[in-house]
Amino acid sequence: MYKLLVTGSAGFVGSHLCIALIKAGHEVVGVDNINSYYDTKLKYSRIKICHEAAAKSTGSYSFREMDLCSYEELIDVFKKEQFDQVFHLAAQAGVRYSIEKPMEYIHSNLDAFSKVMECCRQFNIKHFIYASSSSIYGMNETVPFSEQHPANHPVSLYAATKRSNELLAHSYSHLYRLPSTGLRFFTVYGPWGRPDMAYFSFTKKIFAGETIQVYNHGKMKRDFTYIDDIVESLVRLLEYRPAVVENPNNLPDRSSLAPFRIFNIGNNKPVTLIEFIRLLEKVIGKKAVLEMQGMQAGDVFQTYAEISSLNEAVQFKPSTPFETGLEHFVKWYREYYKPV
């Protein structure tokens, strides 16, 4: 069993990961700054279910509210806890919000990331696993998106910070032999999700009878990936650790000689926005009121993950059908929010 740090533990992916790790018997320390980007009540509810999971299993969970940019406090946590591995999931999310509040992304996604990596170096962390994003592919028109494709032209500040994270991780891996693995998440959805995501906000508006703004006239495509599949891939990475490649002829795809890897994690089955809305209407049992709009600044037309590299590394690929995942989400939404 491992002693693990999960940053962003009050977030969507972070809380689900904590529960899975706790149930597996690991000792988990969660850190989150509980910012007000969306309803903090939902974040505290996630922390509560993590504690409840720990009370029913052999694993343990403790939580600390803090800003990862508080370097001395972060050093204190690493020194006290002596972690084996680190999952860095904390970040300021949201493509459109990055247009309005760019400095929030510099603070949370660059400054905090660099401080966590430096602590990993100082305290000899065995494996640094972090969340990247499919948004780094920008306007790439070659599909499905492969880790081998260039990712040097992001179209949002959020995407630029995530790509910067990957480059910084590579430098640390090369210079300090810090094993690092980045996962490019593709549109994660499911229970306890983020209210700013389309599937969440659309559900809320359908129940309330409010108008949904449908960008690019519903023609955009997204590779929706269910939360349990994301978490399973993260858990499997505990037993996977990138190694230094001594022979360049054995270099894995989209890697380097350093102990560094990047993987896509997506469902490999993109659906159009309008198909998604029709399916959501079916699951909820109520029609949506739609207002068609043009393309939004910072958005990409489609996302579509090529996932063979992840499958080869940890013998896993997502398997949850989109309709099944939506049914699970809507069931949770009804129970948590109790819409009329």
In a domain, 272, yes or no: no
- Of 169, 84, 173, the C-alpha closest to 125 is 84
Question: Is 325 a member of any domain?
Answer: no
Cα maximum dimension of the chain: 62
Structural domain includes residue 244:
yes
- CA separation, residue 233 to residues 59, 67, 102, 240, 329 (Å): 19, 27, 30, 10, 20
- Any residues with CB less than 8 A from the CB of 121 and at least 6 apart, and which? 172, 176, 178
User: 316 φ, ψ to 5°?
Assistant: -150, 140
Does residue 275 sit within a domain?
Answer: no
Residues of the chain with pLDDT under 50: none
Cα 202–chain centre separation:
20
pLDDT at 87: 98
- Residue 74 in tokens: 């972060």
Supply 148's token pair: 């081998």
Note down the domain range covering 252.
3-188+227-267+305-319
Please, are residues 300 and 139 in contact by the beta-carbon 8 Å criterion?
yes
Which tens digits make up the pLDDT trace of 232-250? 999 999 999 999 987 776 6
User: Does residue 47 belong to any structural domain of this protein?
Assistant: yes
Q: Which residues are designated catalytic? A: 158
DSSP 117-177: HHHHHHTT-SEEEEEEEGGGGTT--SSSB-TTS-----SSHHHHHHHHHHHHHHHHHHHH-
- The total domain count for the chain is 1
Contact 93, 158 (CB under 8 A): yes
The answer to whether 283 and 324 have CB atoms below 8 angstroms apart is no
Sheet with strand 127-133: strands edge to edge:
60-65, 27-32, 3-7, 85-88, 127-133, 180-185, 260-265
Taking a C-beta distance cutoff of 8 angstroms, is the pair 239, 159 a contact? no
pLDDT at 296: 77
Query: What's the CATH code of the domain at 99?
Result: 3.40.50.720
Distances (CA, A) of 120 to 1, 84, 129, 131: 19, 10, 11, 16
Tell me if 273 sits within 8 A of 219, measured CB to CB.
yes
Residue 126, judged by CB atoms within 10 A of its CB (0-12, 13-18, 19+), counts as middle
Torsion, Cα of 265, 269, 273, 277 (10° steps): -100
pLDDT digits (tens, 9 = 90+) for 320-333: 999 999 999 999 99
Q: For residue 293, tell me if it sits in a domain.
A: no
* Residue pair 193/38 in contact by the 8 Å Cβ criterion: no
The single residue listed with the structure tokens 């037309």 is 301
Flag whether 170 is in a domain. Answer: yes
